[in-house]
Amino acid sequence: MTEGRHCQVHLLDDRRLELLVQPKLLARELLDLVASHFNLKEKEYFGITFIDDTGQQNWLQLDHRVLDHDLPKKPGPTILHFAVRFYIESISFLKDKTTVELFFLNAKACVHK
């Protein structure tokens, strides 16, 4: 079971998940796994990004395998970021307090950058 690629997913609350991503793992399954760490119910607003070799931010396509993406070829674990992908008009439309908190943490990180 050592086949795969080491990845580190940076979460919005500054935690990091160390994972060995297997070749058949879909990006949707990875997002489900990450969302489960927050007990997140409204995961349709979120996604996972990576920075490619040219410095551009790319979103993992949920219906593709994680390792089929053009991930950077640097040595060490591949760095992925859990982030808000789709914004809404007002956070008052959100149903779950966890989703509101993650939207806040994403906004805070964007302002910090």
So what's the pLDDT on residue 1?
47
List the one residue out of 36, 37, 8, 1 whose CA is nearest residue 22. 1
Ranges of each domain in the chain: 5-111
Number of other residues whose CB lies within 10 A of the CB of residue 112: 6
pLDDT in tens, the chain (113 residues): 458 899 999 998 889 999 999 999 999 999 999 999 888 888 999 999 999 888 899 999 999 999 999 898 888 899 999 999 988 888 878 888 888 888 888 888 888 77
Q: In this structure, which topology does domain 5-111 adopt according to CATH?
A: Ubiquitin-like (UB roll) (3.10.20)
List the one residue out of 81, 58, 63 whose CA is nearest residue 25. 63
